[in-house]
Amino acid sequence: MLGWVIADDDHAGRLMALTGITPDELRERLGEPAVLVAVCDFVLAHEPDLIAAATALATTPEAIVAARHALAGEDFWE
């Protein structure tokens, strides 16, 4: 999902502006669940982005929601 976000300059710029994370910091922390949760939250916050990301990644919006919960260590069905 991160690849989908940063492949588009507008999305990448918005992610950086909203999270305050810099490109260098993003590269350094790429594997951290908290960063990946933040990226998921960014996509989930705007339904058109959620649908576009799901389509581009050949998955469903529900799968993205479930992945976000899994990364955060949460049970999706709670």
Residue 59, C-beta contacts closer than 8 angstroms, at least 6 positions apart: none
Write down the pLDDT at residue 43.
97
pLDDT over 90 percentage in the chain:
87
The string over 12-48, giving b where at least 16 C-beta atoms fall within 10 Å of a residue's C-beta and e elsewhere, is eebbbeeeebeeeebeeeeeeeebbbbbbebbeeeee
Q: What is the mean pLDDT of residues 29-46?
A: 94
Residues 49-64: tens digit of each pLDDT: 999 999 999 999 999 9
Give residue 33's pLDDT.
Answer: 93
Q: Domain coordinates of the chain in residue numbers?
A: 2-71
The dihedral sign for the CA sequence 66, 71, 64, 17: positive
The whole-model pTM stands at 0.88
